[in-house]
Amino acid sequence: MFKRILIANRGEIARRIIRTCKRLGIETVVVHSDADMDLPFVQEADEAVFIGLAPAYASYLNMDAVLDAAQQTGAEAIHPGYGFLSENPAFASRCTGLGIVFIGPPPAAIVAMGEKVAARNLMKSVGVPVAPGTANPVSTPDEAVAAAEEIGYPVLIKSAAGGGGIGMTIAENADKLRAGLKTAQSRAQRAFGDDSVFIERYLPNSRHIEFQVLFDSYGNGVHLYERECSVQRRYQKVIEETPAPGLGSNNELRQQMAQAALQAAATVGYQNAGTIEFIFAENGEFYFLEMNTRLQVEHPITEMTLGLDLVELQLRIASGEPLPLQQADIQPKGHAIEFRIYAEDPVSFLPQPGPLTLYQPPATSEYVRLDSGFVQGNTITPHYDPLIAKLIVWGETRAAALERSRTALTDFKIEGIKTNLPLHLRLLDNPAFVSGNYNTSLLK
Amino acid sequence: MTDVKCQISGTVWQVLVEVGQQVSEEEDLLILESMKMEIPVSAPRDGVVKEILVSPSQTVQDGQVLLRLE
In tens, the pLDDT along B5-30 reads 998 889 998 899 999 999 999 899 99
**What are the chain A neighbours of B8 within 8 Å (beta carbons)?**
350-353, 382
Closest to A239 in 3D by CA, of A393, A378, A71: A393
The mean pLDDT of A301-310, rounded to a whole number, is: 98
Q: Are A29 and A69 in contact (CB under 8 A)?
A: yes
Closest to A428 in 3D by CA, of A408, A439, A417, A415: A408
Distance of alpha carbon A409 from alpha carbon A402, whole angstroms: 10
Catalytic residue among A15, A207, A294, A404: A294
Position A166 scores a pLDDT of 80
The CATH number of A4-103 is which of 3.40.50.20, 3.90.79.10, 3.80.10.10, 2.60.40.420? Answer: 3.40.50.20
The mean pLDDT of A409-414, rounded to a whole number, is: 98
Distance of alpha carbon A159 from alpha carbon A185, whole angstroms: 7
Pairing of strands B28-34, B10-15: antiparallel
**What are the chain A neighbours of B7 within 8 Å (beta carbons)?**
350
Q: Are A387 and A340 in contact (CB under 8 A)?
A: yes
Give how many domains chain B has, as a whole number. Answer: 1
Which ranges of A326-440 would DSSP assign to H, the alpha helix? Answer: 398-411, 421-427, 431-435
Task: Out of A55, A187, A384, name the one closest to residue B35 (CB).
Answer: A384
pLDDT of A444 strictly over 80? no
**What are the chain B neighbours of A352 within 8 Å (beta carbons)?**
8
Q: How far is CA A117 from CA A137, A148, A186, A213, A336, in A?
A: 7, 16, 18, 22, 33
Does residue A190 have an active-site annotation? no
Q: Which residue of B has its CA nearest to A233?
A: B37
Position A193 scores a pLDDT of 85
Q: Are A416 and A355 in contact (CB under 8 A)?
A: yes
Q: Do A353 and B13 touch (CB under 8 A)?
A: no
Percent of chain A at pLDDT > 90 equals 92
Mean per-residue pLDDT of chain A = 96
Position A217 scores a pLDDT of 97
Distance of alpha carbon A66 from alpha carbon A384, whole angstroms: 17
**Residue A185's Cα: distance from chain center in Å?**
23
Domain spans of chain A, in order of start: 4-103, 132-201, 207-435
Q: Do B8 and A234 touch (CB under 8 A)?
A: no
Residue A355, Ramachandran bin (φ over 0: left; ψ between -120 and 50: alpha; else beta):
beta
First to last CA, chain A: 46
Amino acid in the structure at residue A216: D
Q: At what angle do helices A310-318 and A11-24 cross, to 10 degrees?
A: 70
Owning domain of residue B40? 2-69
Q: Do B35 and A234 touch (CB under 8 A)?
A: no
In tens, the pLDDT along A31-63 reads 999 999 999 999 999 999 999 999 999 999 999
CATH tag, A132-201: 3.30.1490.20
* Residue B39 binned pLDDT confidence (cut-offs 50, 70, 90): confident
Q: ipTM of this model?
A: 0.76
The answer, for A221 touching chain B at a CB cutoff of 8 Å, is: no
pLDDT of A76 strictly over 90? yes
Buried b (16+ CB within 10 A) or exposed e, A380-409: bbbbbbbbbbbbbbbbeebeebbebbeebb
DSSP label of A138: B
Distance of alpha carbon A337 from alpha carbon B21, whole angstroms: 50
Q: Do A344 and B35 touch (CB under 8 A)?
A: yes
Q: Do B35 and A343 touch (CB under 8 A)?
A: yes
The mean pLDDT of A153-171, rounded to a whole number, is: 88
Q: At CA A35, angle to CA A34 and CA A36, rounded to 5?
A: 90
Report the 10 Å Cβ neighbour count for B42: 14
Q: How far is CA B1 from CA B47, B68, B69, in A?
A: 9, 7, 6
**What are the chain A neighbours of B33 within 8 Å (beta carbons)?**
382
pTM: 0.94
Shortest distance between the Cα of B41 and any Cα of chain A, in A, equals: 12
Position A332 scores a pLDDT of 98
Q: What is the CATH number of the domain that holds B37?
A: 2.40.50.100
Per CATH, the homologous superfamily of domain A207-435 is: ATP-grasp fold, B domain (3.30.470.20)
Q: Which residue of A has its CA nearest to B59?
A: A382
In tens, the pLDDT along A78-137 reads 999 999 999 999 999 999 999 999 999 999 999 999 999 999 999 999 999 999 999 999
Q: Do A382 and B34 touch (CB under 8 A)?
A: yes
Percent of chain B at pLDDT > 70 equals 100
